[in-house]
Structure 1
Amino acid sequence: MTDDLTLPPVAAPYQLPFHYGALHNIGLDYLVDPAPVRKALAEHHPDLSAAEFDGRACVTLNYQLYFAQYPNGGGITQEIEYSIIAHPTASAGRLARLSYEQFARGYDQTKLLGIARLHVLCDNPLAIEAGTKLYGEPKYPAWFEATMPSLNGPAGDSWTVACKQATHTPSGAGIDRQERTLFSFSADLTGLSRTPVNNTPITGYGTDPAGRPIAGPMNVYQPYEYRSLTGEADRVRLTVQDASSPVGADLTTLIADAPAAGAWTYQSPPVAAHNRPYYVPRAD
């Protein structure tokens, strides 16, 4: 029997917690048949059980664009987590019975309902290594073409993300971008009612090389904005371009043509603005 009172080691040279300088994030939730979800979870995270909301399991796609500041500069990372909403099987007795809408609004304050990651695709080799070593994430290279709402762009609330194939470069210090698109999604949330929700810390579940489950909470210091897609599911479109890839196969098996049930977004507020110039009178 393992000692559950010990903490996982922090691999050098990393330090925890990892602080985000800015975060732009959209999550899309799908309510699906629980049988294939249970099978996938048993293969990837055998100590976890899939959450069920009125008899449906929930899988989620979570795109992040984030900035981090380091002593010698800064870095920008994009990634997508494809996950199952799950909880430790041994803690099932602590969970209240929730509907999906209650879960989406942050009612689970135990934070046992978290994201059990199946695939984490990322464009930053350092983040791939850190996520794998620190949190037991199944993380590997990809790259992204994305558009999202911005104060520096036209008005609206539309997101489009294409996830493309990549591999590590021979040195391991970079990624080799390839043109093959694995999957993509679009979400036009313009005009939908936004509900501020207290749904963090978000518990991320992984499994270390010894098969031991790991839980790593992520705090976001302002509310997310949740949008119910009841009656509005046609605003979101998920397309699997490569069903033969590991992530494409899992998307096809678990989501197929299920409609999106909800969307949640977070965008860091600006910290400064460089204003419009004005003319200075000339000296005579």
Structure 2
Amino acid sequence: MTSDLTLPPVAAPYLLPFHYGALHNVGLDYLVAPGPVRKTLAEHHPDLTAADFGGRACVTLNYQLYFAQYPNGGGVTQEIEYSIVAHPTASADRLARLSYEEYARGHDQTKLLGIARLHVLCDNPLAIEAGTKLYGEPKYPASFEVTMPSLNGPGGESWHIACHQAANTPSGDGADRRAASPLFSFDADLTELPRVPVNNTPITGYGTDPDGRPLAGPMNVYQPYQYLPLATQTADRVRLTVHDASSPVGADLLTLIGDAPAAGAWTYQSPPVAAHNRPYYVPRMS
């Protein structure tokens, strides 16, 4: 076991930590056969070991819509992380034996169980560059079509997330939707399903830099997530569809998840900070 006591450099012009002004997030966990997961993880992150939840591995998809404020304005970003729940092999002796339900409820206080990213699809070139340079993320352009719960929309809690392959626009300030083709999508109708608030952050995100060194970057969320266990009778409320099986992410989704049902969902939506109310008539002078 080797240890590097220095911190990874922070590439200019970025500053850390990166502060989110608002975050809307839905994640889906799948418990699957461990063999293909271990093989894929070894190819992407050889210093990590897949978590063992009663003989099953866990792969996870999470969609994020977030806002960030900068000195010269603001920006909105969408991305999906497709990951394997894993831990550093060299730290295995620090981990307690946990069930998936205990992990999902935030019982791993070492925070060594994190997300080893396989694919990160994103519609913001600046976020792609930052994620790649700072955290060793395998991050590339995508565009999204989204329907999600909102206080500015109808009731219910239905998510529809469609991810499309894309290229950067010629100006480099976004994803070119004209070049988009569908990769995969998922639907999650979580309306009226039981949920429990969980303290599961910081979430440790794992990457590997160009020199092959593993990186870990924790992300704090300052309010509880909502965890929804998906029992057998409710698992059909979630559906994953691969539209392009020949794409790298589509092939990995089919290999690792296939037709496995979702074992759990988790959501976070930033609370509103202001409301512009309904107008009223002002009396006129007669």
Q: TM over 0.5: same fold?
A: yes
Secondary structure at 2:112's aligned position in 1? coil
- Percent identity among equivalent residues? 83
Secondary structure at 1:149's aligned position in 2? coil
Tell me what 1:110 maps to: 110
Deviation at 1:173, TM superposition (A): 4.2
Amino acid at match of 1:167: A
Amino acid at match of 1:12: A
Amino acid at match of 1:165: Q
Deviation at 1:175, TM superposition (A): 2.8
- So what's the TM-score if we normalise by structure 1? 0.98
Tell me what 1:184 maps to: 185
Return the alpha-carbon distance in structure 1 between the equivalents of residues 22 and 51 of structure 2.
30
Tell me what 1:53 maps to: 53
Alignment match of 1:234 (pick from 236, 247, 262): 236
Deviation at 1:4, TM superposition (A): 1.5
Return the alpha-carbon distance in structure 1 between the equivalents of residues 197 and 228 of structure 2.
9
Deviation at 1:243, TM superposition (A): 0.4
Return the alpha-carbon distance in structure 2 between the equivalents of residues 3 and 10 of structure 1.
19
Unmatched tracts of structure 2, length 5 or more: none
RMSD: 1.1
Within-5 A mapping of 1:197-236: 197-231=198-232, 232-236=234-238
Tell me what 1:12 maps to: 12
Tell me what 1:163 maps to: 163
Amino acid at match of 1:60: T
Within-5 A mapping of 1:77-92: 77-92=77-92
1:255 aligns with 2:252: no
Deviation at 1:183, TM superposition (A): 0.1
Tell me what 2:272 maps to: 270
Unmatched tracts of structure 1, length 5 or more: none
The count of residues paired between Structure 1 and Structure 2 equals 284
Return the alpha-carbon distance in structure 2 between the equivalents of residues 179 and 16 of structure 1.
32
Deviation at 1:176, TM superposition (A): 2.2
Return the alpha-carbon distance in structure 2 between the equivalents of residues 58 and 109 of structure 1.
18
- So what's the TM-score if we normalise by structure 2? 0.97
Deviation at 1:171, TM superposition (A): 5.6
1:67-123: CA deviations, max 9, x gaps?
A: 000000000000000000000000000101111111000000100000000000000
